[in-house]
Amino acid sequence: MDIPAIINSMTLEEKAGLCSGMDNWCTKPVERLRIPSIRMSDGPHGLRKEDEANKKPGNIFAKSMPAVCYPAACATAASFDPELCVKRAKH
């Protein structure tokens, strides 16, 4: 797959569509170039997915499904415990 060639063949509107998204979690597809919509995640230390099937009318966000979450590194730093930071860095 020649990604630079694909990007060069995209219109400005198609490129902006990849940045703005189709909804809260998915990119806009570029059907002309057979680029599918891609589901995104909202965090570097876990994964969260909304239950779109049970989204209430008028709400921007749906209830989250059960998820895996890990504390972010900044939370460890906020503990002011240097030994904990070193311990975490070794794992």
Instruction: List pLDDT tens digits, range 15-35.
Output: 998 888 888 778 999 999 999
Q: Which stretches of the chain drop beneath a pLDDT of 50?
A: none
Q: What percent of the chain has pLDDT over 70?
A: 93
Global pTM value: 0.53
Could you tell me which of 32, 30, 54, 28 has the C-alpha nearest to residue 40? 28
Range of the domain at 34: 3-89
Supply the pLDDT for residue 30.
95
Supply the pLDDT for residue 35.
94
User: What tokens does 27 get?
Assistant: 């990119």
**Domains: count for the chain:** 1
What is the residue whose two structure tokens read 């049970």?
A: 54
Q: List alpha helices for the chain, DSSP H.
A: 3-9, 12-20, 73-77, 82-89
